[in-house]
Structure 1
Amino acid sequence: MIRMHGRWRESLRTKVGDLSVYRFRILLFFLILTLIIIPLAVVYPEFNPLFLIFFSMVIISGVFAAQRKRHFLILILLLAIPAVAARWISYLFPTAVSEITVHLFALLFFSFFAVYLLEIVLRAKTITGDTIAGAISVYLIMGLTWALAYQFMDEIQPGSFAYDTGTGPGGVLSLMDYVYFSFVTITTLGYGDIYPLSPVAESAASFEAVTGTIYIAVLIARLVGSMEW
């Protein structure tokens, strides 16, 4: 019995080890699914549970991708668990958790995780396809993190952004609008249909545009140049 239990544990460890080779690809997969489902969840509320599942899987796969030293894993878990729990509690019991709390927990997790994942990618001794997936994931997480930051700013200081009255359902900015604004800012497209008004929002948008440009120009170019498929 003990021998069978030991074999089962060894088999599980082997399977987890095999999956760790694709940890950044798994993270990128759920990131893309989440970004695809966000506009659907805004237009069709019945997609909200699916959004929550994908959003939770991004965090779970992020924890898996960040596996390294125990104290780092514990810190990430301490940020990940409230971020997932707050989203689900807010959905199941709308009055139990404030929207500001939900955004804050998610923002704290993704802010720390973006920096942590970037450090893992930079320290990679061998640049593989999975490392490139990690680098792309960092870029998408940066955009998502800034979107959460803008949403949080607008929650605590309404009127931080100006926008066309036709923007968003009911004339109110949704998560998709903040994601949209974040990615047009980080890519420096700047369509101008949504723009920052408050000094904090203006500073944040400027910083995001600068960091996005530097990231693409320096990090991705370096990784691709050194890649071994």
Structure 2
Amino acid sequence: MSHSIGDRIERREPLFGWFLLATLLPILVMPFTNLEGNAIQRVLLPLSTLWLVVLALRMMPADLLRWRGWSFTALYRVLGVLCVAVMWLPFVLGHHAGHAWHLPILSVISGFYLSTTVGIVLVLAQVKRVNEAVLCLGAAGYIQLGLTGGQLATALEILSPGSFSLGRMLPGEELVERLSYFSFVTLGSLGYGDVLPATALAESFAVLLSVTATLYITLMIGLLLSRYIETR
């Protein structure tokens, strides 16, 4: 079964580079999005998310997401479809969506991003060789972790306003954009100090995010290095 999964993953390797681009695209388009702007400004993020979800669903082997005999492939696909659907709500409603929609949207998106990161680790554990495509997938998993952190930090700020000291937000900058920036700064251990956790819960979240990033890098290096040694 493991060998069969490895063969199917190898056939999907041409998608890995495109998937890395798809994970970068939401970050690149965020500065140009505006929920109260024109149609192009509102459609950029939903379209980039659609491309990311489609590639993620195509890349993940059907029976890879299993735990103790239970398959979560169908749940993952449903989560992907919901992720695309909820991303279009801000495009349609803008800032008039209301706070009632914010948490369900953030929960679905962060759930899909986190599931994709776990799936990437499982794929890396099954790859038969280390090449440029596999390295692209490893980098994409790190970016997925940063996107997940941004969504979760935004949900925390909505649930408990004042959890983060946001500093001076730029005109038109969305909360999720600001806290996605905080997430990647935390992952990179940069700590500029312009966005800070302001409560004990937010501090715990920042620590957890930083530790998770370190564990991901350690795990990725271990997996890829062991596979490289095996192939040599």
Q: TM-score, normalised by structure 2?
A: 0.80
Residue identity opposite 1:92 in structure 2: V
Q: Say yes or no: does 1:190 pair with 2:182.
A: no
Deviation per CA, 1:79-131: give whole Å up to 9, x if none: 11111111113321453871221111101111222112211112212222211
**Matched-pair contact (CA < 8 Å) for 2:86–2:105:** yes
Residue identity opposite 1:186 in structure 2: L
Q: What are the equivalent positions in structure 2 for 1:218-229 lying under 5 Å apart?
A: 218-220=219-221, 223=224, 226=228
CA 1:118–1:77 in 2, change beyond 3 Å: closer, same or farther?
A: same
Which residue of structure 2 aligns with residue 213 of structure 1? 214
**In the alignment, which of 142, 158, 169 is matched to residue 161 of structure 2?**
158
Distance in 1 (alpha carbons) for counterparts of 2:108 and 2:61: 20
Residue identity opposite 2:135 in structure 1: I
Q: Say yes or no: does 1:137 pair with 2:140.
A: yes
**Matched-pair contact (CA < 8 Å) for 2:16–2:134:** yes
Which residue of structure 2 aligns with residue 177 of structure 1? 178
**Matched-pair contact (CA < 8 Å) for 1:147–1:178:** yes
Distance in 2 (alpha carbons) for counterparts of 1:193 and 1:129: 36
Which structure has the larger Rg? 1
Which residue of structure 1 aligns with residue 4 of structure 2? none
Residue identity opposite 2:77 in structure 1: L
> Segments of 4+ in structure 1 off by > 4 A?
none
**Matched-pair contact (CA < 8 Å) for 2:49–2:87:** no
Shift of 1:32: 1.6
Structure 1 unpaired stretches of 5+: 1-16
Distance in 2 (alpha carbons) for counterparts of 1:26 and 1:19: 14
Q: TM-score, normalised by structure 1?
A: 0.81
Cα-Cα RMSD: 2.8
**Matched-pair contact (CA < 8 Å) for 1:187–1:213:** no
Number of aligned residue pairs: give it. 211
Give me the identity figure in percent: 22
Q: Say yes or no: does 1:87 pair with 2:79.
A: no
**Matched-pair contact (CA < 8 Å) for 1:41–1:48:** yes
Q: What secondary structure is seen at the aligned counterpart in 2 of 1:98?
A: helix
Q: What are the equivalent positions in structure 2 for 1:1-229 lying under 5 Å apart?
A: 20-42=12-34, 45=37, 46-69=40-63, 71-94=71-94, 95=97, 98-164=101-167, 166-169=168-171, 174-220=175-221, 223=224, 226=228
Which residue of structure 2 aligns with residue 13 of structure 1? none
Residue identity opposite 1:27 in structure 2: F
**Matched-pair contact (CA < 8 Å) for 1:160–1:201:** yes
Shift of 1:44: 8.8
**Matched-pair contact (CA < 8 Å) for 2:35–2:90:** no
Distance in 2 (alpha carbons) for counterparts of 1:86 and 1:60: 15
**Matched-pair contact (CA < 8 Å) for 2:186–2:210:** yes
CA 1:44–1:99 in 2, change beyond 3 Å: closer, same or farther?
A: closer
Distance in 2 (alpha carbons) for counterparts of 1:186 and 1:160: 18
Shift of 1:43: 9.7
